[in-house]
Amino acid sequence: MTKIESKTVTVNKSDQELYNKLNDFNSFGELMPESVTKFEADNDSFIFGIKGMPEVRLIVDERLEPRLIRLKSVSSKLDFSLTCHIKAVDDSTSKAFFNFQGNFNPMLKMMVERPLKNFIENLADKLASF
């Protein structure tokens, strides 16, 4: 099991506001790095492509309002989940971080671990200025 956790960032939104924003999958487009070549969202999922990697579709796996949104890949080739954990600081501020868990063979793990870490950190950085 490959586990990657981003740094925790402070967001100038309440936990509920941040949860609601992340619950709109179009918002994930704002978090994607410049290397994303494709992004499409609907009510229940979004698909994105990064140059040199296959496109990935993520669907909602779990919601715990306003603390957690877990997304899961629909591809059996890339079996992973991406979870955003949200914690209220006060009425207008929250803290959040991303947690990635994936089942990859050792060769694939070696290839994707560093780019995934960079990707997860990029999501967190952009979340801080959401």
* 22-42 per-position pLDDT tens digit: 999 999 999 998 888 899 999
Structure tokens at 92: 């207008």
Q: Is 42 exposed, middle or buried (0-12, 13-18, 19+ CB in 10 A)?
A: exposed
Condensed to tens digits (0 to 9), the pLDDT of residues 98-126 reads 999 999 888 888 888 888 899 999 999 99
Residue 78 has pLDDT above 90, yes or no: no
* 14 domain residue, yes or no: yes
Q: Is residue 69 part of a domain?
A: yes
Q: How many domains does the chain have?
A: 1
Q: How many CB atoms are closer than 10 A to CB 62?
A: 11
Averaged pLDDT of the chain: 92
Q: What value, to the nearest 5°, has the Cα angle with vertex 75 and ends 23 and 79?
A: 85
CATH number for position 104: 3.30.530.20
If one compares 107 and 94, the residue with the highest pLDDT of the two is: 94
Torsion of CA 37, 78, 76, 56, to 10 degrees: -20
Range of the domain at 119: 2-19+58-128
Specify the 3-state DSSP secondary structure of 58. Answer: strand
